[in-house]
Structure 1
Amino acid sequence: MHIHELRLLATEPFARGEEYGRALAEQIRANTARYLWAFGELGVDAETVTRVAQESFEALDAWAPTQADELRGLAAGSGASLTDLAALTARTEVLAYAPNDALECSTLVRLAATGPSGVQTWDWHAELVPDTVLLSATVNDRQVRTFTETGMLGKIGAAGNLALFFNILSHESDARGRGVPVHAVARRILEEADTVEQALAIAESAPLSASTVLTVLEAPSAAKAEGDAASIELSPAGVALVRGEGGLLAHTNHFLHPALAAGDAASTQSTTDVRLAHLRSVAPGVAAARDAAELARAMCGDAGAAAPVCMRPADSPHLADRWETLITIAMVPGTGELHWQTGLPAGVTEGTLRVFGG
């Protein structure tokens, strides 16, 4: 997976999207084509993809018109179809219609008197993302930095006082109506929020048709000496806040809040329970971690590369079975930095970890 680092200069939404589109036009067009192919491979017919793309874009235009304008600019700059870009942006909403649920990703947050810090693995299909992007843009007079698929506007990222991690979830209420893309919710939180409470309010304001969890870290301040951190679970049935305990906040791919867990629809093939239990078991090592590299390694514990959070693709002809850990990202809120390395967290060292931002 090649990761492009792109720092946009334009500040007006359409122009910002157009600049992004011109810079990575070939990769964006190729990425939309791959995802359209993948939706079919994963069991979503073309008519459904188009309908969900159009409905999600209409919802986005009403809820976050600046993001809709940025996508219009992205289409103009890249030559990609706006409908195809809308389908890519709404890929979680499209995949809610797939018979096989998306499975993996693990997030771990260290809670300490000096403030929270966190790390996540992003596990996905390597053949879908030969190119991804670390994107930096000035939005609302603040610097937003995010890692995402090429042609999308946001996913994992940092801005202002916050850092945000992203894990997919599945709920029985998914795919039953029109909704704003959950990736757009993440981007708007990065654009506007400085506290967990503000992030929660943004999430609660969005009509949804798919589920995910956004784990938000808030830097220490005069109001909160230890900062703050919480997982915001999103579903069409509602939004709920999950707190950590014992110095640790961990989330994988099933709902934890009782109000939403009753409708959880995580795949029976997922290792989500095993990975969550593992993350909770490594609390002592996490507490002792002194920097981003140590935190990433602590995520694996004594098992190292054999830890269940280190995903490797199955030897299968079916795309739905071929998952692997493609990137490990660590962040400390308030720094605006994404510390990253392609591949497993077990292999991270201070010398191999790269920094985007600062």
Structure 2
Amino acid sequence: MLEVRCSGTPREIGLAHGQQARTQIRGSIAFYRQQFQETCDLDWPAVQDEAERYVAPLTRLAPRHLDEIRGIAEGSGVDFLDVLALNVRTEITFGLFTDGSSTFGVTAAGDGEIPETDGCTSLSWFSGTDQEHQGTSSPKMSSFSYLAQNWDWMPAQRANLVILYIDHTSSSSLPDTHPLPTIATVTEAGLLAKTGLNSAGVGVCLNALRCRGVDRNRLPVHLALRRALECGSRADAVRALRETGLAGCGHILVADAATGGVGLECTSRWVRALGMDDAGRTHHTNHLLLLGREGGDEKDVEDATWLADSRPRLARVKELTAGIMMSDRGAQAEGAPRPSTKSLFEVLSDEQGYPASINRRQELPGVKTETLFTIVMDLATRRAQVTFGRPTEFTEETLLSL
């Protein structure tokens, strides 16, 4: 897997990204040129026009990131609007979709119907320190904070994945009083971020949601992921994303080493927080869990739960993590249940409901996507284990360490 290492000013970071991942960036553009045509009935000039509508808002909301996108374009020798279009790909794909587009819905296969297998499964798991449980009857708790997910998409985009390392420490454009952490993210070439972690112990995952509508005066999803990864804590990341709002829909699971995880269900209208359960876990798949729970008029949000497997998959990942708790209670006479990188990889390797399972496979007619990478982040140690390909038959494994 190509590792892209960038440092310096935003423009210099972008230039390094563009120069080192030139082939993959051009591959991403070719992939989304076809994707947007199929899902939104937009040819590439129309896509560029749509991307241009974000320039003025981003000049206000994220000028550094806009400079970085210009650097990526210059370094890779493509048009600025081509790279900007990649970075608003979630807003286009999941906010401007046309009815009956071939990527979504339920696909007939033989005598039955097979749900399209897009979408990802993510989870966080946290325990506090021993001191929090002193004087109680609870078993001793060892501190940990894990964040994990399968990223599922079309195999044609597999060749355009990169590992992006970003070091802001040499950037003279940032004040010394507010240094940004170092970042490691697995992303599609040309995008500023996707799933990853930083040197402050903050990590993010992303689940696709499908809600019609965009607000171009807010922060696009993939720039929101980058913004979160530039924060020093979960609380700072949540605050930053609430302040800007998101231009489109998506679930961002953000966690840190000190306080654990929170799920942010985002639409172009609002950002809502899904907290941890009593065991310190947060799980998510590809439908809104908080719609209707916080009151107010929500008729402006269309929750198109296009994946029939999203709810069963959510139930399954909860069942599997509960199984870790039960088995560890029997194995640890004195301690509370504790997950591990290995046990979480096993959860994400599950094939119940195959091929539309947590561990997905492009196999049947009409099923277009499969698991392209699996990541388990240990935020306490600032390390992440990543496998590329399905977790049961991966082709490459690497360690991210900050």
| Pairwise TM-score range, normalised by the shorter structure | 0.7 to 0.9
Aligned counterpart for 1:170 among listed residues 177, 190, 210: 210
Aligned-partner residue type, residue 60 of structure 2? A
Helix, strand or coil at the partner of 2:166? strand
Structure 1 Cα separation of the partners of residues 244 and 266 of structure 2: 9
- Structure 1 residue 252: Cα displacement: 0.6
Helix, strand or coil at the partner of 1:308? coil
- Give per-residue Cα distances to partners, 1:177-220, cap 9 Å, x unaligned: 554211001101111x2222211111112243310111111112
Aligned counterpart for 2:22 among listed residues 11, 22, 25: 25
Aligned residues: 342
Are residue 112 (structure 1) and residue 161 (structure 2) matched?
A: no
Aligned counterpart for 1:74 among listed residues 58, 72, 75: 72
Pairwise mapping of residues 270-349 of structure 1 onto structure 2 (< 5 A)?
A: 270-287=308-325, 288=328, 290-300=339-349, 303=352, 308-316=357-365, 321-346=367-392
Residue equivalent to 2:156:
127
Contact 2:27 2:160 in 1 (8 A): no
Q: Mark the runs of 5 or more structure 2 residues left unpaired by the alignment.
A: 105-117, 129-142, 169-178, 329-337
- Computing the radius of gyration from Cα coordinates, the structure with the larger value is 2
Cα 1:127–1:197 change in 2 (3 A) is same
- Structure 1 residue 278: Cα displacement: 0.6
Residue equivalent to 2:194:
155
Cα 1:216–1:42 change in 2 (3 A) is same
- Structure 1 residue 282: Cα displacement: 1.2
Pairwise mapping of residues 1-358 of structure 1 onto structure 2 (< 5 A)?
A: 3-8=1-6, 10-46=7-43, 48-95=46-93, 96-99=95-98, 100=101, 103-113=118-128, 114-139=143-168, 140-159=179-198, 160-172=200-212, 174-175=213-214, 177-191=216-230, 193-220=231-258, 227-247=259-279, 248-259=281-292, 263-287=301-325, 288=328, 290-300=339-349, 303=352, 308-316=357-365, 321-346=367-392, 353-358=397-402
- Give per-residue Cα distances to partners, 1:113-158, cap 9 Å, x unaligned: 3132121000001113312111111134421111100111101110
Mean Cα deviation higher: 294-303 or 12-21 = 294-303
- Structure 1 residue 78: Cα displacement: 0.7
Helix, strand or coil at the partner of 1:255? coil
More helix by share: 1
Cα 1:45–1:244 change in 2 (3 A) is same
Cα 1:267–1:307 change in 2 (3 A) is closer
Aligned-partner residue type, residue 191 of structure 2? M
Structure 1 Cα separation of the partners of residues 227 and 233 of structure 2: 13
Structure 1 ranges of 4+ moved more than 6 A: 304-307
Mean Cα deviation higher: 258-267 or 211-220 = 258-267
Contact 1:297 1:304 in 2 (8 A): no
- Give per-residue Cα distances to partners, 1:294-348, cap 9 Å, x unaligned: 21103456959778211111533x6xx4010111001022433221001234468
RMSD after superposition: 2.6
Cα 1:302–1:196 change in 2 (3 A) is same
Q: Mark the runs of 5 or more structure 1 residues left unpaired by the alignment.
A: 221-226
Residue equivalent to 2:110:
none
Cα 1:268–1:152 change in 2 (3 A) is closer
Contact 2:355 2:361 in 1 (8 A): no
Helix, strand or coil at the partner of 2:239? helix
- Give per-residue Cα distances to partners, 1:280-301, cap 9 Å, x unaligned: 1112334345421221103456
Structure 2 Cα separation of the partners of residues 90 and 149 of structure 1: 12
Structure 2 Cα separation of the partners of residues 354 and 27 of structure 1: 19
Contact 2:57 2:216 in 1 (8 A): no
Mean Cα deviation higher: 259-268 or 207-216 = 259-268
Structure 2 Cα separation of the partners of residues 67 and 125 of structure 1: 27
Cα 1:213–1:147 change in 2 (3 A) is same
- Structure 1 residue 86: Cα displacement: 0.7
Helix, strand or coil at the partner of 2:237? helix
